């Protein structure tokens, strides 16, 4: 699994969060702050999907080959249930 892509996405999100905090401290325009929050949410969503994708291609695939896929599938279903809500 290549963690570099996720690390970069999360570091970018962290940087944007620091920027949002500064925007609030500087009493910037609320709509601009809201747009930046949406941008961070998009980065977190992209990172989460990448992690789940890697999980399915690695851990899940291996568990299914070993005949133990049901537990891993249930974990993914629980994550998707939270994701959809």
Tens of pLDDT, residue by residue over 49-74, are 999 999 999 989 999 999 989 999 99
Say whether pLDDT at 84 is over 90.
no
| Gap between the Cα atoms of 60 and 56, Å rounded | 5
DSSP letter at 41?
H
- Residue in the block written with tokens 């601009």: 32
Say whether pLDDT at 2 is over 80.
no
Contact, 54 vs 37, CB < 8 A? no
- What residue ranges define each of the domains in the chain, with the CATH number in brackets? 4-84 (1.20.58.1000)
Say whether pLDDT at 43 is over 90.
yes
| Gap between the Cα atoms of 6 and 4, Å rounded | 6
Say whether pLDDT at 3 is over 90.
no
């Amino acid at each position: 699994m290549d963690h570099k892509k996720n690390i970069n996405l999360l570091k970018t999100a962290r940087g944007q969060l620091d920027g949002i905090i500064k925007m609030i401290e500087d009493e910037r325009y609320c709509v601009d702050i809201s747009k930046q929050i949406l941008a961070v949410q998009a980065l977190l969503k992209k990172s989460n999907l990448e992690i789940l994708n890697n999980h399915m291609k690695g851990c899940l695939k291996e568990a299914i080959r070993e005949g133990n896929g049901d537990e891993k599938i249930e974990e993914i279903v629980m994550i998707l249930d939270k994701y959809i809500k």
